[in-house]
Structures are given as C-alpha cells and as structure tokens.
Amino acid sequence: MDFKKINKQREQKCIEKLSSLLKDYTFINTCDYNDYAYNEEGFCSVDFIMMKDNKFICYLEVRTRNNIDSYDSLFIGYNKLESISNHYNDTIIIWFDANNLDNVYFICFDKKLLNCNISNKAIGKLTREIPKNIMSKGLVNLCNLLCEYQ
C-alpha cells in the first residue's frame, strides 16, 4: 500500500473542501514547485500556500487522521515541525478527520510547539505530540481564521 499517495489524496480532498468554502482564495500545492525542497523523508515541509489576489496569506500543513476526537493529542513529524520553525513561520497546521472533513483541529505555528512532548508512538519515527486542548476546533472557526489571517 502506498501510504504517501493515500496521504496526498486525503490532503487534496481537504484542500478541495476549504477551496469550496473560501472561493476568493487560491491554494497552491508547494510540492509542485522546485523552490520548495523536499525534506530527507521525501515530503515537503508544508503542503500548500494560501493566496488571495496573488498575495501570499500563509502556508498550510494539512494532516489527516481517522477518528481524531478519540485522541488527546495529535502528531506531527519532529523534523517537519523543525523545518516549519526554520523556514515557514506563517504556517497553520490543520488536522482533518479522514472520515468527516467537517471535523477539524488547527493551530497557528508558534515556536512553543517545539516544547511539546517527543514521541515515537504514531509512525515509528520521532514526532511531536500537540495537545488538542491548545488547538482550535471546527471547520467554521478554521475558515474564519483563514479569512482574517493576513
């Protein structure tokens, strides 16, 4: 099973959902451009650039997990978060429930996230556990944030 391909398909569905709600905005896949380097694991450090009227708004890192309400924390790769910290500070990290795209948790990147617990529970690699109690929740709230974020 090609998990990388499945994740990209899931991420695309999430962005299509946002795009259908935020029609004045453009979402550009960063991995389509040579100037956004892949990390050593073969992934881009951020997934999308959000723009309005050809003006940069922010980066989006899109994650999907099944049944996200059943977890106290959500995971992001240790190296990915370090890369965001070093190069992509204007990033909103978003976790969509793969079974219900209206169920979403999100957080604006802040260097304090680098202090979150380190774990290898999620995928056998080092990850950061981001507690959901410091995140915001809901698709409407996410859309409101994205519209205000400039």
Distance CA 150, CA 147 (A): 8
pTM for this entry: 0.89
Q: Residue by residue, what is the 3-state secondary structure of 73-93?
A: EEEEEHHHHHHHHHHCCCEEE
Distance CA 19, CA 118 (A): 33
Which CATH number is 38's domain given? 3.40.1350
Rounded average pLDDT over 91-103: 94
pLDDT digits (tens, 9 = 90+) for 2-28: 556 667 788 889 999 999 999 999 998
Distance CA 146, CA 60 (A): 10
pLDDT digits (tens, 9 = 90+) for 103-146: 999 999 999 999 998 887 656 678 899 999 999 999 999 999 99
Distance CA 45, CA 67 (A): 24
Give the per-residue pLDDT at 138. 96
How many domains are contained in the chain?
1
Pairing of strands 127-131, 91-97: unpaired
Question: Taking a C-beta distance cutoff of 8 angstroms, is the pair 10, 98 a contact?
Answer: yes
pLDDT digits (tens, 9 = 90+) for 72-82: 999 998 888 99
**Residue of 52, 60, 133 lying closest to 95 (CA atoms):** 60
Residue 130 lies in domain: 3-148
